[in-house]
Structure 1
Amino acid sequence: MNPRHFKWILPAVLIVVLFFGCGRRPGEKLYYDALAQWDDGNLVRARTLLEKSIRRRTGSTENADAYNRLGLLLWEMGELKDAVPAFNESLRIDSDQYPVLCNLGVALSATQDFTGAERAFREAALLEPDNPQPLAFAGVVYAQNGKWQDAARNLSKALRRTPNDPQLQTAMALAELQTRGPEAAIQRLRTVTRQKPDYAPALFNLGSICRYQARNPAEAKVWFERYLKQSSGIDAFSAFARTQLQALQEPATAPKLSYTPPKTRDRKTAQTYFGQAVTLHRAGKTAEAIQQYIRAVEADDSYERAFYNLGLAYYSAGKMELAGEAFTRAVQLNPAYVEARYNLALVDHYHLGRTTQAVRELETVLSQKPDYQPAIDLLTRIRQ
């Protein structure tokens, strides 16, 4: 070849390479650039590139994967409602995608569309007939939102695929606790512990159900002791179990909040006692502080702050029933007292085994103050 021709051939080759992107299909470079930006934490830039890539590849089956990734990216960005259409578009291109159906189910449940979530999980279950996870996901979603009949139905179907799964059996027991009563739940959990004696969630839930639903303190003590042998000992569940064991050693009759209501309310005197109580409380003199808080409410039994602080003092002293009563009185006096209601939920869940009541109180708190982070965090922990 005449060397002079290279000056024409080389520019032509470069033009072709630039135009077609080194052999890549339209939008492919944008797609991989988007993934790189995502890996680097540049979520907004990643979204822009990914959406541009999808437009460049309109009509391509490769967009099924791109839309799924877009849905996951939007989820990570907290834009849940936008994630749902992305997953749906991925499934429109290719309906036989098990992971995308599961992603769609989770996204729909997060937007409170439980019927749509169940439908997505059921379609996923049809694609993998031996896999219990989709039906289990549906059951857990319903359980987290208090729809126990629906939870039991889906968990039951999941158990047909893997009947000896201790996690599923435990979840089913909690659903049965709500739909069939404590005896059914206890029977199922006992079966789990026979098959897997060291399965801590079953041991813990047996202790809680025997203690509070079945009213069988002797059996509750056995299960809590077995649970503590298996647990790390440093988590909130272990603390709860130890508290329950301590309570089971105490007299069966729970103490009652006792004070003498005034004939005539005197807020000024009550505030004097309250100030003295706060000083004692801050100094770590809890017993003396409790006495002064009681004097404050005996001077004015409409003094909600005094009842709230009395609850905090009882909590510090480890007297959870009395703390719960004091917080309850504060809430009765002022239903919008979110701190008192939150602390009541805290005592109910971690120390008195009244998780259903705790959830109800937390939901009320969030209806009054949607951004109250302690309530958001506690409700998340309970549902997990």
Structure 2
Amino acid sequence: MVKRISIAGIITLLLSQPYGFAKEVSLSGDRHFDDGRIDEAIHEYEKSLQKNKKQPEIYFKLGNAYYKKGNLEKALELFTIATQLKPDYAEAYQRMSEVSMQIGVPDDELKVCLKAVQKDPHNADAHLQLGMIYYKRNHSDEAKREYETTIGLDPKKAEAYFNLGVLYQDVNTHDKALEMYKKAIEVSPNYDKAHFNLGIAYYQTGHIEESISAYKRALEINPMYADAYVNLGIACFVNGKYSDAIEALRKALSQGSNIAKIHYYLGNVYHKMDETDTAIVEYKKAVEANSKLVAPHYNLGIIYLKKKMADQAIEEFTKVIILDHDYANAYLSRSKAYELKGDRVNAQNDYNSYQHAKSAFARIYKEEHLSTYYEGSNPDR
């Protein structure tokens, strides 16, 4: 006996076949994605969409694949389609927000992330992302609230503790920053940025040995962490460990970033060691790399003044004053250089300028020993 199939059954069968095929293709795409074969994954996901264009999950997966390739605009487009097909797709809203932040879509990122939180108020990642957006916009109270909400939802979110530490560090509440970085490390022991920021917080509270240990730990985790080498070198310098400071700064130099400041810091070490000729070489390299960096010019002038090389000292102090006409100490030091030459008129003029700058602006330029940079919660900081 032949079994009859109704017209409705035939239509159902025909409609179900493409979807089943699409699902199979999607699974194949997932395997390619998991194995790191992103182009093959994209090909499979697109094949799936050719069969059925109303699959929000496939648009989401395809968006992740394009994100992995670095095509953020295409990823954002695909995540947007996913939310249009599935208005309560919280994970897609979150990814839209992340991508918007990275490609700079300020009008959309906050709206998108707020929508993600509204759709799924118990999504810790969405609250974390919202906090990062608030931080980026300098809304510290709102950012703090979202980070704390994140921790309440998921106490294992190391990045939320880290970002709270950054907020506290921004307002010089170093004890609280220390506490947050330690919690981030407790949750994620190999969190190199948390160890790095912990080092700065220790430094800023006068715990230099602990600061050195934190930087060393960051470097154990990430041996290519150039900023950690820089700050390790500076901490060792302040602690009187000049050989260790030079070694760390030389390693930082080999990483190829912040060249001007590293040469400046090396100059400071050699200057402190009274190896003034080597210090001159380092300061000159600093201004060759960045002629607008004020401190190396000033320190070169000081060395030349000590060596009674008045003309060279005047030249360097003049460069400082051109770069920063309110730099009171530069006028005072140039006044001494003019005195050394016997030029009393210019010496008196500079001394008068020093008094004016000192009283009018109440600031004598002082270069920080420590790089004030620390890791922020914004991914592109």
TM-score normalized with structure 2 length: 0.51
Query: Which of 65, 82, 92 is residue 73 of structure 1 equivalent to?
Result: 65
Query: Which of 287, 294, 302 is residue 307 of structure 1 equivalent to?
Result: 287
Question: What do the CA deviations read for 1:349-381 (whole angstroms, capped 9, x no partner)?
Answer: 9x832228x99xxxxxxxxxxxxxxxxxxxx99
Q: CA deviation at 1:149?
A: 5.5
Residues 205/77 of structure 1: CA separation in 2 closer, same or farther (3 Å cut): closer
Question: What do the CA deviations read for 1:114-148 (whole angstroms, capped 9, x no partner)?
Answer: 45333433443445544422111232355467665
The answer to whether structure 1 residue 172 and structure 2 residue 167 are counterparts is no
Question: Is 2:101–2:109's contact at 8 Å kept on the other side of the alignment?
Answer: yes
Letter in 2 for 1:223: E
Pairing 1:328-339 to 2, within 5 Å after superposition: none
Question: What do the CA deviations read for 1:310-335 (whole angstroms, capped 9, x no partner)?
Answer: 99xxxxxxxx9649978xx69x88xx
Q: Which runs of 5+ in 1 are unaligned?
A: 2-15, 252-285, 298-304, 312-319, 334-347, 360-379
Letter in 1 for 2:372: R
Aligned to 1:118: 110
Letter in 2 for 1:57: N
Pairing 1:138-149 to 2, within 5 Å after superposition: 138-143=130-135, 148=140
Aligned to 2:175: 186
Cα distance in 1 for residues equivalent to 2:212 and 2:79: 46
Question: Is 2:162–2:184's contact at 8 Å kept on the other side of the alignment?
Answer: no
Aligned to 1:28: 22
Cα distance in 2 for residues equivalent to 1:110 and 1:246: 36
Letter in 1 for 2:370: L
Question: Is 2:38–2:65's contact at 8 Å kept on the other side of the alignment?
Answer: no
Aligned to 1:363: none
The answer to whether structure 1 residue 105 and structure 2 residue 100 are counterparts is no
Residues 68/288 of structure 1: CA separation in 2 closer, same or farther (3 Å cut): same
Cα distance in 2 for residues equivalent to 1:231 and 1:292: 30
Pairing 1:30-69 to 2, within 5 Å after superposition: 31-32=25-26, 35=29, 41=37, 43=39, 50-51=45-46, 53-58=48-53, 60=54, 63-69=55-61
Residues 382/240 of structure 1: CA separation in 2 closer, same or farther (3 Å cut): farther
Alpha carbon RMSD of aligned pairs, Å? 5.2
Letter in 1 for 2:210: W
Q: CA deviation at 1:288?
A: 5.4
Aligned to 1:245: 235
Question: Is 1:224–1:245's contact at 8 Å kept on the other side of the alignment?
Answer: yes
Cα distance in 2 for residues equivalent to 1:81 and 1:324: 46
Aligned to 2:370: 352
Question: Is 1:224–1:241's contact at 8 Å kept on the other side of the alignment?
Answer: no
Letter in 2 for 1:224: S
Residues 169/325 of structure 1: CA separation in 2 closer, same or farther (3 Å cut): farther
Cα distance in 2 for residues equivalent to 1:289 and 1:29: 68
Q: CA deviation at 1:226?
A: 4.3
Q: CA deviation at 1:235?
A: 4.8
Q: CA deviation at 1:174?
A: 0.9
Cα distance in 1 for residues equivalent to 2:19 and 2:282: 75
Q: CA deviation at 1:102?
A: 2.0
Aligned to 2:211: 224
Q: Answer 1 or 2: higher relative contact order, Cα 8 Å, separation at least 6.
A: 2
Cα distance in 1 for residues equivalent to 2:158 and 2:298: 34
- Aligned partner of residue 182 in structure 1, secondary structure: coil
Letter in 2 for 1:110: Q
Cα distance in 2 for residues equivalent to 1:225 and 1:37: 44
Q: Which runs of 5+ in 2 are unaligned?
A: 2-9, 242-274, 301-318, 324-366
- Aligned partner of residue 96 in structure 1, secondary structure: coil
Cα distance in 1 for residues equivalent to 2:103 and 2:282: 45
Residues 245/124 of structure 1: CA separation in 2 closer, same or farther (3 Å cut): same
Question: What do the CA deviations read for 1:287-344 (whole angstroms, capped 9, x no partner)?
Answer: 75765798xx8xxxxxxx9931699xxxxxxxx9649978xx69x88xxxxxxxxxxx
- Aligned partner of residue 242 in structure 1, secondary structure: helix
Residues 223/41 of structure 1: CA separation in 2 closer, same or farther (3 Å cut): same
Question: What do the CA deviations read for 1:171-227 (whole angstroms, capped 9, x no partner)?
Answer: 11212333xx202x4324236648977967555424414545xxx4x33x1431442
Cα distance in 2 for residues equivalent to 1:22 and 1:163: 44
Letter in 1 for 2:49: I
Cα distance in 1 for residues equivalent to 2:140 and 2:161: 15
Aligned to 1:279: none
